[in-house]
Amino acid sequence: MAAAGTGSGFVFVRNVCGLFRDSSRLAVLARPQQLSWFHSSSSLSTKNWEKKNLKVFPPQLPEEARRPAEVHHCRRQIKYSKDKMWYLAKMIRGMSIDEAVAQLEFNDKKGAKIMKEVLLEAQEMAVKTHNVEYKSNLHVAESFSSKGKYLKRIRYHGRGMFGIMDKVYCHYFVKLVEGPPPRPEQKTGLDQAREYVQKLKDRTVIHSL
């Protein structure tokens, strides 16, 4: 069995060498810009959301449209489940900040209180450091939760059995953008009908006369 194994291995290696000996592959190797199939930037830090606040844009020309201000804020290692937090994060997506704060204030979940604190902190940051003029002129552009580092504990079962219990933690990220919240496009029935008819007309009929 061992001998057969090495034999097949030899054949495999020869095939692989043959592949590389191919001229096209050589051409690929020769091109200098193609040598970027290794990962060049190396950083272990995963705290990238906070770094988004440090990006500086070049000064705008007078005829350009005014760029809306963006504030990224997050809270790490919240003692709550990421799945439960998701429901609240999905609720406030697209709301204006006042609306979002009001909704979270009267929500009974534990994560709502923490989320409200995060939003208020972000609003204050925006006004103080990021040159946002009116604190109500912000809306929630992005809001999501992710898994934090869990602690593992033992959950004792009967008959000497045990299970590993996870003490769940989550992170919560929010991005506030200056301006009124974007209005979702209202499609009327007539528009939908028109689109449907157009789709029917755009069909290509093959093998026809």
Partner 1 sequence: MAMSMRRTLVGLYRGARYSLKNVESSVEARHPLPLVLPVRTKKRYFIPPAVGMKGKKHEDPEAQARAAGIVIQQQFMERPINIACTAGVFDPYIPPEGDARLSTLSKEGLKQRTEQIRQSAASQLAIRKIKEHDSLFSTKTFAEQAQEIFIEAHRALTQFNKEKLHSLVTERCYPEMTRGNRHKTIRWSFVESLEPPRVVHARCPDMVTKGNLYGQVTVRVHSKQTLAIYDRFGRLMLGSEEQPKDVLEYLIIERHLMNPYGRWRLHGKIVPSWAPAKDPVIRTILIPGPQLKPWEEYDTLNHEVPKPAAVQWYK
> Where do contacts with partner 1 occur on this chain (CB under 8 A)?
54-60, 66-70, 127, 129-131, 133-135, 152-154, 160, 162, 164
Q: Do residues 54 and 32 make contact, with C-beta atoms less than 8 angstroms apart? A: no
Letter string b/e over residues 54-91, b meaning 16 or more CB atoms within 10 A of that residue's CB: eeeeeeeeeeeeeeebbbbbbbeebebbbeebbebbeb
Min dist CB 61 to partner 1, Å, is 9
| Closer of 67 and 199 to partner 1 (Cβ) | 67
| Closer of 121 and 144 to partner 1 (Cβ) | 121
Min dist CB 149 to partner 1, Å, is 14
Q: How far apart are CA 80 and CA 110, in angstroms?
A: 8
Q: Do residues 168 and 80 make contact, with C-beta atoms less than 8 angstroms apart? A: yes
CA 125 to the chain's CA centroid: 22
| Closer of 56 and 205 to partner 1 (Cβ) | 56
Residue for token digits 């109500």? 136
Min dist CB 54 to partner 1, Å, is 6
| Closer of 52 and 84 to partner 1 (Cβ) | 52
Min dist CB 169 to partner 1, Å, is 16
